[in-house]
């Protein structure tokens, strides 16, 4: 080959390399942070956020109509709980088509419109990807169940029983009863870690893996900025079906407690996460994990040994601190910091009693809600706010079994009352049904909607909501650890006298100003706001 040809070849090679590097370049800020590191995320439970067609159930057009509200709150990305076609046995966590929108929520055109409006308002869309299982009404499962030789048979986990009427092993469904359901037609059992209507996908089958990875790519092309990955801990099971050790006592469903060492957190999970991450990286997308870890080493693993798995594994150990306990918070924050990955803070979600109830003492609930907002929204890391948390929404738990909608609340009543209480409609104003819908909503709104609603709180400079507005300046400071939380310092405390701390952007955050606002109080204290390298001490 001539010298000239060689240099042309070398030039083309160089060009290709730089193009591919360019394609993978992440959008980072001046401090080297990626978009999701200086973002505030906000979880939306779509059934309950805003109802545009007054059928009592929220929808995508409803979400689109509230993009301005989200923008003003300082939200950069919304994670929408599943809005795909679903029989709604687990309210969307039973998906029957991964590449469409449930008609109850709208259409793909509504989805595209929502993405476009989000772009206008600087709000990205993150979807919820139910990776562990599909609905039993998904065409894959319908085919799988049709015969032992069906082409999708091996897309799910089918096994013979141990003997007549005996499931393959002692694994229990976390939603109650055995995790195996017998199919009389093909005379085998299929495995379901959640409801029987949620059969587990067989991730050991490369065809399943390919279909699921392709689905993420399909949504990225449609403008999605990432996924919250549902139930990643349960993706794989021991192929030998070894029984789990039985522990003393029973759970809320009355089943024997077991140590789920053979059907949870298997190492194979990490190989799948790496593959999902590779696809995500091609679109500068983020992966958030529903990662129920019991110690920091487990959490660390979810980031991946080379930062090649989840960028944002949620630290649920933080949510186990159910009281205002500075030493406990300090311990948790130090631990998550030591994991080396980017911390992700959450205090409520659609599966957990609202933070307003968990932290509230019954007397100072609003003050405590303000404190909690001011606190976790300014920690170094990325916060995920749950809709309604910003206005001090509280749980509205069902009082009678016949009112319960969540199936686990019906089977487990009264020890397990289900999750309806934390999923009630967003409180927009003090009109009927809190302005959510003109029709009676699918779940009743709590009585406090008269005082705790967006319209009323926007007018009140001392409202819970005003302590949840995250301005860009505040975000900049907090994401890099620029805010010191004195209440958490060894000598500090989070006693009631400190509960009036409130972050305000309008008055206190002009440019480089301090972030913790003085409130008129008789019992004065001090708040230190560590700011741009210098300490300011403010009396209050």
Q: Is 230 a catalytic residue?
A: yes
Strand pairing class (188-191; 180-183)? antiparallel
Contact yes or no for 291/233 (Cβ under 8 A): yes
Is residue 336 close enough to count as binding Ca ion by CB under 5 A?
no
Is residue 57 close enough to count as binding Ca ion by CB under 5 A?
yes
Size of the site for Ca ion (CB under 5 A): 5
Is residue 53 close enough to count as binding Ca ion by CB under 5 A?
yes
Choose among ligand NOJ, Ca ion, none what residue 290 binds, the Cβ cut-off being 5 to 8 Å by kind: ligand NOJ
Nearer to ligand NOJ, 47 or 124 (CB): 47
- Exactly one of 59, 230, 260, 416 is catalytic; name it: 230
- Rounded to whole angstroms, how far apart are CA atoms 385 and 347? 7
CB of 159 to ligand NOJ, least distance (A): 21
Choose among ligand NOJ, Ca ion, none what residue 189 binds, the Cβ cut-off being 5 to 8 Å by kind: none
Instruction: Point out the residue whose Cβ comes nearest to ligand NOJ.
Output: 93
| CA 44 centroid distance within chain | 9
CB of 394 to ligand NOJ, least distance (A): 20
- Rounded to whole angstroms, how far apart are CA atoms 291 and 470? 26
Instruction: Point out the residue whose Cβ comes nearest to Ca ion.
Output: 59
CB of 141 to ligand NOJ, least distance (A): 15
User: In terms of DSSP H, where are the helices of 420-482?
Assistant: 454-459, 472-479
Q: What string of DSSP letters covers 291-321?
A: ---SSHHHHHHHH-TTS-S-SEE--TTGGG-
CB of 527 to ligand NOJ, least distance (A): 36
Q: Which stretch binds Ca ion (CB under 5 A): 26-34, 54-62, 82-90, 298-306?
A: 54-62
Q: Is 43 helix (H, G, I), strand (E, B) or coil?
A: strand
- Name beta bridge partners: 125: 78
Q: Is 328 a catalytic residue?
A: no
Is residue 55 close enough to count as binding Ca ion by CB under 5 A?
yes
Residue 391: name the closest of 361, 427, 357 by CA.
427
Q: What string of DSSP letters covers 156-223?
A: B-EE--SBTTB-SS--B-TTSSBSEEEETTTTEEEE-SS-TTSPBB-TTSHHHHHHHHHHHHHHHHTT
Q: Which stretch binds Ca ion (CB under 5 A): 44-52, 150-158, 186-194, 368-376?
A: 44-52
Strand pairing class (188-191; 77-80)? unpaired
- Rounded to whole angstroms, how far apart are CA atoms 433 and 54? 11
Nearer to Ca ion, 71 or 439 (CB): 439
Choose among ligand NOJ, Ca ion, none what residue 514 binds, the Cβ cut-off being 5 to 8 Å by kind: none
Tell me which residues touch ligand NOJ (CB under 6 A). 90, 93, 130, 194, 230-231, 290, 350-351
CB of 290 to ligand NOJ, least distance (A): 6
Choose among ligand NOJ, Ca ion, none what residue 470 binds, the Cβ cut-off being 5 to 8 Å by kind: none
Which positions are annotated as active-site residues?
230, 282
């Amino acid at each position: 080959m001539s010298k000239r040809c060689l240099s042309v070849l070398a030039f083309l090679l160089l060009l290709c390399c730089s193009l591919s590097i360019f394609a993978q370049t992440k959008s980072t800020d001046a401090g080297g942070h990626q978009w999701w590191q200086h973002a505030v995320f906000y979880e939306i439970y779509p059934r309950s956020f805003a109802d545009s067609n007054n059928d009592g159930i929220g929808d995508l057009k409803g979400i689109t109509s509230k993009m301005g509200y989200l923008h003003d709150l300082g939200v950069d990305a919304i994670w929408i709980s599943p809005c795909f076609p679903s029989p709604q046995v687990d309210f969307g966590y039973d998906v029957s088509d991964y590449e469409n929108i449930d008609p109850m929520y709208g259409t793909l055109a509504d989805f595209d419109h929502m993405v476009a409006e989000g772009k206008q308002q600087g709000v990205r869309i993150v979807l919820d990807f139910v990776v562990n299982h599909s609905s039993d009404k998904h065409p894959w499962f319908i085919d799988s169940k049709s015969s032992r030789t069906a082409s999708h048979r091996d897309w799910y986990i089918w096994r013979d029983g141990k003997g007549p009427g005996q499931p393959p092993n002692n694994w229990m469904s976390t939603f109650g009863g055995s995790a195996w359901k017998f199919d009389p037609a093909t005379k085998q059992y299929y495995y379901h870690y959640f409801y029987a209507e949620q059969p587990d996908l067989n991730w050991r089958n490369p065809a399943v893996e390919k279909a699921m990875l392709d689905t993420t790519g399909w949504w990225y092309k449609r403008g999605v900025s990432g996924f919250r990955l549902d139930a990643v801990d349960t993706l794989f099971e021991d192929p030998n079906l070894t029984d789990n050790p039985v522990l003393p006592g029973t759970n809320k469903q009355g089943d024997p407690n077991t140590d789920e060492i053979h059907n949870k957190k298997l190492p194979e999970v990490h190989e799948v996460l790496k593959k999902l991450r590779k696809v995500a990286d091609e679109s500068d997308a983020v992966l958030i994990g529903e990662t129920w870890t019991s110690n920091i080493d487990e959490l660390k693993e979810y980031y991946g040994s080379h930062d090649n798995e989840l960028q944002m594994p949620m630290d649920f150990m933080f949510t186990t601190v159910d009281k205002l306990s500075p030493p406990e918070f300090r311990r948790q924050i130090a631990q998550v910091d030591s994991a080396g990955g980017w911390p992700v803070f959450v205090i409520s979600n659609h599966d957990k009693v609202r933070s307003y109830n968990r932290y509230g003492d019954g007397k100072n609930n609003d003050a405590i809600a303000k404190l909690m907002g001011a606190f976790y929204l300014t920690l170094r890391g990325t916060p995920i706010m749950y809709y309604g948390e910003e206005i001090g929404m509280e749980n509205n738990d069902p009082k009678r079994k016949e009112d319960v909608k969540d199936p686990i609340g019906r089977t487990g009543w009264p020890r397990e009352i289900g999750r309806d209480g934390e999923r009630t409609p967003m409180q927009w104003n003090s009109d009927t049904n809190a302005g959510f819908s003109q029709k009676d909503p699918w779940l009743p709104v709590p009585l406090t909607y008269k005082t705790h609603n967006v319209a009323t709180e926007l007018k009140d400079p001392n409202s819970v909501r005003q302590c949840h507005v995250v301005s860009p300046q505040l975000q900049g400071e907090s994401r890099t650890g620029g805010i010191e939380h004195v209440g958490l310092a060894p000598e500090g405390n989070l006693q009631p006298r400190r509960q009036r701390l409130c972050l305000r952007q309008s008055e206190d955050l002009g440019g480089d100003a301090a972030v913790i606002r003085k409130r008129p109080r008789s019992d004065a204290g001090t708040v230190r706001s560590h700011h741009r390298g210098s300490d300011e001490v403010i009396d209050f």
